[in-house]
Structure 1
């Protein structure tokens, strides 16, 4: 099975480049990448890295979702996810409309448990369960917040609403609805302020930095992360496990931003600070502020930053030392295998790349099905071979190629 000739990032880059009357050399010069890289990506012979897509999108003045071809509507219709976007968008717009007279909110503890379950579902990339439950829960929490007087219960509900907005961000962002994801992040910040929780505000800034990095704006991402560290310092106990977990996650995000900027010294500095925070905690704490932080995540980012820096041999070496515990979030594990597939594909190791792609599907199938890098790597491997192996052809069909 072969993907359509024009159904990949490189072909879309070529289309928009020609519309802008740019040569491959002209685009390469403006995007600060080599002409050879542009040529290989346009031909569909090498994966387009997120940093490269962001740089090219900026030059071509298009959104990265246009180049990625997101959202993948036919697959979303098959999975019945498309019908969940409109209700979620409407639910996020309820934040300032006051109580709904048709809703009788359940007790605060029950609502918190519901939100906690959805947060766990987001970390497990269970998009179907999230999309069907989240809009109604947002409406119920909004009404509960409107009815409660100032006090601890109101702060608890505000916190639950903030985390619900975080789930809305994860759901919409992973499916390619970046504008809706931005709205969800704004709602998250507004509710975190009402919850008076600086760590929750810092988590929001971490996610905001991810969106900036997706657009290739690593310098602004680093400024946002620095603001996140200032918020952590406002916590009552900056030596507590929650504060260390949030701070450590900010350092890891900084390492990725520095790696995207090809600043290896800064990467080492951020990774060292993250390692120190993980050592102070002494164990993985995946459910603490849903940061998935700990020694395992630091080891994962040793691999991820090496891949981003183009040090593929070092990435493979570090990967051999990485072992995920059973309780590690599937979102993280699935992303790791997608990153490794990209690295192996760049090294010309098709069999190892395909194995990593299958593992990504096994670990977090819904994440794999909608991840642009997963699709692009599969497409590259298919195009490089006269006849795709059965396993690779099966992956291509499953992902919608």
Structure 2
């Protein structure tokens, strides 16, 4: 069943604000936001950015997922994704139960090839393909880890299993199952230690920082990312790998600083990431699945400008950003969603609608389940006396 048109993050914020007996002014002061921002978000006239949602959730003492209204059960049922959650949860639970007598693991090379395809699917936001294959791979690799003798083969299995947990995190997080995503992230760290790969542990910390930002904890996110750089220093393999992971840590830190409105730190981290990309000399989307390179730095440069409220500068730089054909659709789709939000705040309805359509075209499953996509569409609907056909179609597609 579609959600009522008046059900959005703003209405939920207003409901919890009143339950906590706070005025809009009091909520704004405690969340370090302007009262006009709270008023517009509650009215649904502007989309609530992740930073705003996190800040308000902290004050109202509710989880972000409560305000986002996730997961979207009706849409998950329509896409037959809801039935994939329980098998994944069960697969995450067998990590310490030893070998499954009904499973005979294949050679590590074959398993690793399948895991790589899962990672490709995660970057392409192909959720259904991930959800059907992931539980079986988790079970197979868990058994492999239990029966392989210590050595290189077991270490390779540990690395493959760690990447499976990374995929599980991406799958659960994008669909709104954040508790499940947290479990997957913990499993990833445990197995990355078994793999003895400091870069894999650092990649996990970029995701941990995302979970912290979701709760509005900018400073802790930055501390976690600084810990990631110390792990990168322990790497003794290819320099490109270390540069790609370090660059990704800098970009994640730039987002954290932008949400904290720290423009100086944003500039510092973007410069560091740009220098790492320059040293690599090309985009390396599959190096530790960091999707790192000059293209990603340009994307995050624009994204941080949006977070800092420098919308004109972001729109100007957006004109010069062109994604390569092989750039991960997860990144491209996210970029278009971010720009749609910026264009709504700038009053550029046509540009916002175009960005929303691009987000749907590039990464449809990501767009359908992204809370900012839904909020941006809702804001456009509420600004129109009569929604044009294209906007009405998008609203129906996301369940508004």
* TM-score clears 0.5: yes
Q: How far is the alpha carbon of 1:5 from its aligned partner?
A: 4.7
Does 2:293 match 1:290? Answer: no
Counterpart CA distance in 1 for 2:129 and 2:159 is 21
Instruction: Summarize deviations over 1:302-344 as a string: whole Å, max 9, x none.
Output: 1101001000000011111100000000000000000000000
Does 2:267 match 1:268? Answer: yes
Counterpart CA distance in 2 for 1:251 and 1:23 is 38
Counterpart CA distance in 1 for 2:39 and 2:258 is 23
Would the aligned equivalents of 1:5 and 1:11 in 2 still touch at CA under 8 Å? Answer: no
Counterpart CA distance in 1 for 2:72 and 2:209 is 24
Q: How far is the alpha carbon of 1:4 from its aligned partner?
A: 2.5
Ranges in structure 1 where 5+ consecutive residues have no aligned partner: none
Secondary structure of the corresponding residue to residue 288 of structure 2: helix
Q: How far is the alpha carbon of 1:178 from its aligned partner?
A: 0.5
Would the aligned equivalents of 2:84 and 2:132 in 1 still touch at CA under 8 Å? Answer: yes
Secondary structure of the corresponding residue to residue 288 of structure 1: coil
Name the counterpart of 2:145.
145
Would the aligned equivalents of 1:94 and 1:139 in 2 still touch at CA under 8 Å? Answer: yes
Name the counterpart of 1:363.
362
Would the aligned equivalents of 1:199 and 1:243 in 2 still touch at CA under 8 Å? Answer: yes
Does 2:20 match 1:15? Answer: no
Counterpart CA distance in 2 for 1:15 and 1:251 is 37
Counterpart CA distance in 2 for 1:312 and 1:123 is 27
Name the counterpart of 2:72.
72
Ranges in structure 2 where 5+ consecutive residues have no aligned partner: none
Name the counterpart of 2:129.
129
Counterpart CA distance in 2 for 1:303 and 1:253 is 13
Q: How does 1:138-287 map to 2 (within 5 A)?
A: 138-237=138-237, 240-287=239-286
Does 2:335 match 1:325? Answer: no
Does 2:306 match 1:299? Answer: no
Secondary structure of the corresponding residue to residue 321 of structure 2: coil
Instruction: Summarize deviations over 1:48-94 as a string: whole Å, max 9, x none.
Output: 11101000000000000000000000000001111111110110111
Would the aligned equivalents of 2:13 and 2:67 in 1 still touch at CA under 8 Å? Answer: yes
Name the counterpart of 2:45.
45
Counterpart CA distance in 1 for 2:335 and 2:314 is 11
* Residue range with higher mean Cα deviation, 88-97 or 195-204: 88-97
Name the counterpart of 2:35.
35
Secondary structure of the corresponding residue to residue 383 of structure 1: helix
Q: How far is the alpha carbon of 1:7 from its aligned partner?
A: 1.0
Counterpart CA distance in 1 for 2:298 and 2:30 is 34
Instruction: Summarize deviations over 1:190-216 as a string: whole Å, max 9, x none.
Output: 000000000000000010001111111
Name the counterpart of 1:337.
336
Would the aligned equivalents of 2:5 and 2:378 in 1 still touch at CA under 8 Å? Answer: no
Secondary structure of the corresponding residue to residue 15 of structure 2: helix
Counterpart CA distance in 2 for 1:214 and 1:309 is 17
Q: How far is the alpha carbon of 1:371 from its aligned partner?
A: 0.1
Would the aligned equivalents of 1:6 and 1:12 in 2 still touch at CA under 8 Å? Answer: no
Counterpart CA distance in 2 for 1:16 and 1:258 is 27
Instruction: Summarize deviations over 1:8-50 as a string: whole Å, max 9, x none.
Output: 0000000001111111111111111111111111111111111
Counterpart CA distance in 2 for 1:27 and 1:329 is 38
Counterpart CA distance in 1 for 2:264 and 2:35 is 27
Counterpart CA distance in 2 for 1:3 and 1:151 is 53
* Residue range with higher mean Cα deviation, 370-379 or 18-27: 18-27
Secondary structure of the corresponding residue to residue 235 of structure 1: coil
Q: TM-score, normalised by structure 2?
A: 0.99
Name the counterpart of 1:61.
61
Name the counterpart of 2:85.
85
Counterpart CA distance in 2 for 1:236 and 1:37 is 48
Counterpart CA distance in 2 for 1:189 and 1:159 is 11
Name the counterpart of 1:310.
309
Q: How far is the alpha carbon of 1:115 from its aligned partner?
A: 0.4
* Residue range with higher mean Cα deviation, 3-12 or 122-131: 3-12
Q: How far is the alpha carbon of 1:6 from its aligned partner?
A: 3.6
Q: TM-score, normalised by structure 1?
A: 0.98
Alignment: residue pair count = 399
